[in-house]
Amino acid sequence: MSNVVDEAPGAAREPRRAGRRRTRLSRRGRKEAFYFWLFISPWLIGFVGFLLGPMVASVYISLTEWDSFTPPQWVGLDNYTRALTEDPVFWKSLWNTFYYALISVPLGLIVGVWLANLLNKRVRGRKLFRTLIYLPTLVPLVATAMVFKMVLAPSGPLNDLLGLFGLDGPEWLLSATWIKPALIVLSVWGAGAATVLLLSAMNGIPRELYEAAEIDGAGAWRQFWSVTFPQITPIIFFNLIMGLIGAFQIFSQVYILAPNNNVGGPDNASQMMVTLLFQEAFSFYHFGYASAIAWLLFIVILVFTVIAFRTARKWVFYETEVR
Amino acid sequence: MAIAPQAAAPGPAAEADRKGRRDDGDAAKRTLSAFKASPATYAVLIVVSALLFVPFVLMVSISLASDQTSAENAFTIIPGEFEWSNFADVFTATGLPVGRFVLNSVLIATLSAVGQVLSSSLVGYAFARLRAPGKGVMFMIVLATMMIPAQITMIPQFLLFKELGWVNTYLPLIVPNFFSNAFNVFLVRQFVSRLPSELDEAAQVDGLGYFGVYRRIILPMMWPILTAIAIFTLTFAWGDFMGPLIYLNSEESMPLALGLQYMTSTSNAMQLPPWNLVMVGSIILTLPMIAIYYLGQKYLYEMNLQGGSAGVK
Amino acid sequence: MVDRIRWRAGAGTALTAVLSMAALTACGSGDSGDDGTLTMVVWGGDVDKQTYQERVDLLEAENPDIKIDLQLIPSDQYEQKVQTMIAGGDGPDIMQVAENVNSYSSKNQLVPLDEYVESSGLDLEQRFGPVGDLYSYEDQTYAIPDRSGAMIVYYNKDLFDAAGVEYPTAEWTQEDAQAAMERLTIPGEQWGYGGAGWWAQWWSFAYQNGGQIVDDSGRPTVNSPEVVEALQWANDLTHVHHVVPTAAEYADMGPDMGGDPAFAAGKVAMNTTGFWAIGGLIESDVNWGIAPMWGGEQQAVSAFGSGLAVTRDAENPEQAFEAIDFLTDAPAQEIIIDNAQDVPANLEVQQSDAFLQPEWAPEGLNMGAFGESSEFIFRAPFIPEWNEMQATFDDNLGEFWNEGGDAQAELDEIQTQLESIIQ
């Protein structure tokens, strides 16, 4: 009865189950397994060839003090204990990263699904609308930076807009309180990127399903929830996982928006995990410490991904129950 | 069953609907309520697209500003000046081989996209459809490779490519794409697991092997997602300057995105780059991608999946 | 079956294309080391590229045995690229260095140049004056000065004339400067000064007060009364005296707004910055002049510059030094000023007509301001932890600069942090 979702994240339970299954593999099963390994070999070769080595190296580096020039000094777990117990900036950047990821990812998904649903309707000029909504993804970062510094100025267009609703806009990038919301605004601006996949998934939904719903008297809203949404849950799930991994690794957005190229932002309010490790590695020459931060971040992301996979079986709908 | 639609939605509309299903070109085809665009739909789309288009207007505005406006950072959102000569200056005044840059970008981006499409479809299919012991663990490893920030494996990876003698060639930028990446593998897997399995089961009964099922049954249905992968890879490779920066040394081999980086560069931290020329560069960098996306949509969304997809053609 | 073969053939063609293309680029550029070509890395933009290339061309023309492969790296990525090259065992032969020089020299990545200097008979003091030993660490010279210019005062003649204020001179005190700023300010419209939030600016005030950021024994002294007073003054100019635009006022003027573009736009009457602002001002409508920095208890001003160093990976350090020697000699240095790139470090060139009356300068521009300033340039602490020190200031002073505050409290905190960073 297991489906894909069940199988993939259950790494912890896998050995037991796999072991049991292995003894039962039929000849056909062995053939299937052989083709599985054959077909994934491009990825496997690439992984072993290009990534495994550097990853193992970075684990080793995280256990040393290394300025990237002179030979590394073995320090054991010192870098990890320093990050967790001594470095207030580490905790601040961890909190900042959580703040950003846990708001921007759900928000981006909601906006993305909403826009995709609108674009999936029979509208004139659909190609143009789709292009415009995808446009932010295509604009080079340096241009994005210029634009957002203008838009987010204390008397800039965004605050003018808020003023129309009687709201007194904050100083966004200049304020320790508002720089993270400003980064979230930037991420929502790029939410249209998700529409590519969502639309492509919506396009694949058989028309018959809608016709059946129509017959049952369902309106647009109910058709969305009873047909569209369940059918695109695999892609929403994909966007959720990728969004989480991406948001926890937020880097260039901070780099371009932080005033005067000071990644920390006002009083480290926009210091994120990856900007911190980048600064430690390439500005301060503490490569060992930076690598330790990278692996701590890895653990954080891993935990959230596993949680996401665990909850997935409750809401992600697969057409095929993979055997 | 045949009576039900009449009862639920009586009148000529339902007739037209059923007729329309058979005859796609029929102008009278009725739109299902999920796809009906109300004036509100248009209002929202127009407002949202206008908001998202503002930055581009601003890019154009800055790109047409005079050198003086640029030195003062006194830009306006709506273009106030029209220094078209800026577009010529980028090619002449900067002394950079911009034409060569474009060629390099095209080469790197195209080959990267080809590599990703070829490899990801096969690997993603295997993860979605084939059963094997250890598959769950392998998939977790696929995902885990994305969780390590690239910044930290950069130096070890550089050492590796240097050992291979690949520094100052395009190989470190292109070859890894032929071994797929986690993002695309996961994407294909998600897409394929949504496809009905009856077809490939039937094909297997008919004696088609695993590769045959992939090649004949799954691949033809995968085109939208492969187009998406191609677009994503093209966009990424086109805009990436960090990889080229690290691995390429000679100017003739650099792609356009790195060239743009040179335009924004100054000899002192407090010095200002020539913003007007930088924006001209940004526009030149963006336009091809907009064109590709605009044209690529046809293959992304307007493909008739399973002969009866719901999206409006 | 036919399909499969065709598919494979396609993949094969693509792979072949990759490999052949890669081979092409590999031939494209001469790899350093094998054929004796020296790799030289510098940062910057178009003007820098052109200027360095012209200098290298002159070098190669006069010294047929030296071949240089010049690589310009975008400034923002310079340190990262060089670090990757060195860590990969493939460092350049000659590299441009600046304030951060000693993070390389302290990690044994640069070749001490003293013996080459000696054997070539080069007199650093004579060629460069007081900055001759700027790039020394633990009594060894690690780089030869190449570009070096003091921070100067830019002033808007029209705004000064309209307010009836005398043009600034080196004789001004901080009080004179503030009095002038107040008279030159029209609230909400025009400001007397562009601000002093950048290290080069407010550190100058600290050294004018007789303070030091790091004392001669290498200990940080940022919470001394002199430094506190300087920082407080720099901040009060914005938040108490309102003669400098606030961060919010700047942000409303345009993206990335600061003293330099605001001066070019005629919104601030005075601005303290380096040589590079000249390029933009020549294009502008502003009627401007330059003067040496004002003083305090004593005269002091920061300088900007960069040097050229030889790295550990250089296969022929002697020849690399020979190249640097030539590039910092008068003929090659003149190109720097001809292109309006920067102030050449070479004193002979700084005092020549080529520098004092460059073709591109507006009538009557006091280029002598740079030479005059060199008398009282203070020595900024080029400690190996330079980047960390700057980040400590930036991280702690963010809100302080944006909203005002108590300099003593901020600097006490910074002092504590610097003590743990600087060993």
- pLDDT for B246-265, tens place per residue? 999 888 899 988 888 888 88
Q: Give dist(CA A190, CA A252) in Å, integer.
A: 14
| pLDDT band per the 50, 70, 90 thresholds, residue C195 | very high
Residues of C in contact with B171 (CB under 8 A): 18, 22
pLDDT exceeds cutoff 60 at A16: no
- Residue C192: pLDDT band (50, 70, 90) is very high
Domain ranges of chain C: 38-148+304-367, 152-302+378-421
Q: Assess C68–B contact: CB distance below 8 Å, yes or no.
A: no
Residue B1 has pLDDT above 70, yes or no: no
Residue C306, classed as helix, strand or coil, is strand
The pair of three-digit structure tokens given for residue C252, joined into one six-digit string = 């409303």
Structural domain including B116 reads 98-304
**CA nearest to C49 within chain B:** B95
Give the gap in angstroms from C-alpha C133 to the nearest C-alpha of chain B: 22
pLDDT at A236 over 60: yes
Beta-carbon separation of A67 and C256 below 8 A: no
Q: Is residue A242 predicted with pLDDT exceeding 90?
A: yes
Is the CB of C11 less than 8 angstroms away from the CB of B118? Answer: yes
Chains sharing 3 or more CB pairs under 8 A with chain B:
A, C
Q: Which residue has the tokens 């073995």?
A: A74
- On whether residue B27 sits in a domain, the answer given is no
Q: What are the sequence ranges of the domains in chain A?
A: 80-315
Residue C391 near chain B (CB below 8 Å)? no
What pLDDT is recorded for position C416? 95
Q: Count CB neighbours of A303 within 10 A.
A: 10
Given a cut of 80, whether residue C15 has pLDDT beyond it is no
B93 pLDDT above the threshold of 70: no
B33 domain residue, yes or no: no
Contact B32 A33 (CB under 8 A): no
Higher pLDDT, B18 or B159: B159
Q: What confidence score (pLDDT) does residue B99 get? A: 81
Q: What is the DSSP letter of C198?
A: S
State residue C321's pLDDT score.
Answer: 97
The residue among B185 and C32 whose pLDDT is bigger is: B185
Closest partner CB to A266 (pick from C86, C104, C399): C399
Phi, psi of C96 (to 5 degrees): -80, 135
CATH superfamily name and code, C38-148+304-367: Periplasmic binding protein-like II (3.40.190.10)
H/E stretch holding C40: strand C38-43
Chain-chain contact of A69 with C87 (C-beta, under 8 angstroms): yes
Residues in chain A: 323
pLDDT value, residue A79: 96
Please say which residue of B83, B114, B138 terminates a domain: B83
Do strands C38-43 and C68-73 pair parallel, antiparallel, or not at all (unpaired)? parallel
| pLDDT exceeds 60 at position A41 | yes
Specify the CATH number for the domain of residue B166: 1.10.3720.10
Which residues of C are less than 8 Å from A269 in CB distance? 398
Q: Which of B152, B164, B309 to mutate to test the interface with A (most CBs of A within 10 A)?
A: B152
**pLDDT (mean) for B208-233:** 88
- Flag whether B93 is in a domain: no
Q: Report chain A residues whose CB lies below 8 A from the CB of C107.
A: 67, 69-70, 285
Among the partner-chain residues A145, A269, A282, the one whose CB lies closest to the CB of C83 is A282
CA distance A82 to chain B (A): 18
Average pLDDT, chain C: 90
Q: Answer whether C256 touches B (CB < 8 Å).
A: yes
B215 with C4: Cβ contact below 8 A? yes
Give the nearest partner residue to C399 out of A67, A153, A267, using CB atoms. A267
Q: What whole-number distance in Å separates Cα of residue B62 and Cα of residue B74?
A: 9
Q: How far apart are CA B190 and CA A4, in angstroms?
A: 9
* Helix H or strand E encompassing A15: helix A14-24
- Cβ-Cβ contacts under 8 Å for C142 (sequence gap 6 or more): C97, C101, C102, C104, C105, C110, C111, C112, C113, C135, C136, C309
Yes or no, beta carbons of B267 and C75 under 8 Å apart: yes
- Whether the CB-CB separation of B245 and B258 falls below 8 Å is answered with yes
* A123-127, B68-72, B196-200, C285-289: the lowest-pLDDT one: B196-200
Q: Which residue of A has its CA nearest to B154?
A: A54
Is residue C4's pLDDT more than 70? no
Closest C-alpha among C314, A128, C416, C89 to residue B293: A128
Whether the predicted pLDDT of A283 surpasses 60 = yes
Could you tell me if C265 and B72 are in contact, meaning their C-beta atoms sit under 8 angstroms apart? yes
| End-to-end Cα spacing for chain C | 71
Q: How many domains in chain B?
A: 2
Note the pLDDT of residue B195: 80
Query: Both tokens of residue B302?
Result: 């307007």
Taking CB atoms and an 8 Å cutoff, what residues of chain B touch A25?
133
Confidence of residue A23 (pLDDT cuts 50, 70, 90): low
Chains B and C form CB pairs within 8 A to the count of: 163
Residue B83 near residue B64, CB atoms below 8 Å: yes
* Assigned domain for B9 exists: no
The tokens describing C187, both together, are: 């609230």
Predicted confidence at residue A319, as pLDDT, reads 58
For residues A3 and B136, the answer to whether their CB atoms sit within 8 Å is no
The pLDDT tens digits of the residues spanning C123-177 come to 999 999 989 999 999 999 999 999 999 999 999 999 999 999 999 999 999 999 9
Buried b (16+ CB within 10 A) or exposed e, C287-315: ebbbbbbbbbeebbbbbbbbbbbbbebbe
* Shared fold status for C38-148+304-367 and C152-302+378-421: yes
- CB neighbours (10 Å) of residue B165? 11
The tokens describing C416, both together, are 């504590």
Q: Which residues contact C412 (CB under 8 A, 6 or more apart)?
A: C223
Would you say residue A303 has pLDDT above 50? yes
Which chain C residue lies closest to B159 (C-alpha atoms)?
C88
Distance CA C302, CA B242 (A): 33
Q: Is the pLDDT of residue A12 over 60?
A: no
Q: Is pLDDT at C33 greater than 80 in this prediction?
A: no
Which chain A residues are closer than 8 Å to C83 by Cβ? Answer: 68-69, 282, 285
Helix (H) or strand (E) holding C152: strand C152-156
Q: Which residues in B lie closer than 8 A to residue C274 (C-beta atoms)?
A: 268, 270-271
| Predicted local confidence at residue C238, as pLDDT | 96
* C-alpha of A151 from chain center: 25
The whole-number average pLDDT for the span C296-309 is 94
H helices within B146-215, ranges in order? Answer: 150-163, 171-174, 182-193, 198-205, 210-212
pLDDT top residue among C93 and B251: C93
CA of C19 vs chain A CAs: smallest distance (Å): 17
Low-confidence winner among B274-283, C67-76, C109-118, C238-247 (lowest mean pLDDT)? B274-283
Residue type, C200: A
β pairing state of C144-150 and C140-141 = unpaired
B155/C74 Cβ within 8 A: no
Residues of A in contact with B308 (CB under 8 A): 206-208
Q: Within a domain: residue B103?
A: yes
Segment A178-229, tens digit of pLDDT? 999 999 999 998 888 888 889 988 888 888 889 899 888 888 889 999 999 9
State residue A157's pLDDT score. Answer: 82
pLDDT at A260 over 70: no
- Give the number of A-C residue pairs with CB atoms closer than 8 Å: 83
Q: Do B265 and C43 touch (CB under 8 A)?
A: yes
Candidates A244, C155, A320, A239; CA nearest to B130 is: A320
Nearest Cβ partner for B58 among A130, A150, A189: A150
| Chain B residues 140-199 with a CB less than 8 Å from chain A | 140-149, 151-153, 155-157, 159-160, 176, 178-181, 183, 185-187, 189-191, 193-197
Q: Which chains touch A (3 or more CB pairs under 8 A)?
A: B, C
pLDDT of A267 > 50? The answer is yes
Q: What is the per-residue pLDDT for A244?
A: 95
- Whether C263 and C277 have beta carbons less than 8 Å apart is answered as yes
Strand, coil or helix: C220: strand
By the 8 A CB rule, do B27 and A234 touch?
Answer: no
CATH numeric code, A80-315: 1.10.3720.10
How many residues are present in chain B?
313
Contacting residues of C for A171, CB less than 8 Å apart = 247-248, 251, 402
- At residue B308 the predicted structure's pLDDT band, cuts being 50, 70 and 90, is very low
Q: Find out if CATH 3.40.190.10 is the number for domain C152-302+378-421.
A: yes
Q: For the beta carbon of residue B192, count every other beta carbon within 10 angstroms.
A: 27
With beta carbons less than 8 A apart as the criterion, state whether A175 and A261 touch: no
Q: Do C28 and B107 touch (CB under 8 A)?
A: no
Nearest-CB residue to A267 (from C83, C385, C398): C398
C-alpha–C-alpha distance, residues B232 and B236, integer Å: 6
pLDDT in tens, C226-282: 999 999 999 999 999 999 999 999 988 888 888 999 999 999 999 999 999 998 898
Please indicate whether residue C3 or residue C46 has the higher confidence score (pLDDT): C46
CB-nearest to A149 from C109, C256, C396 is C256
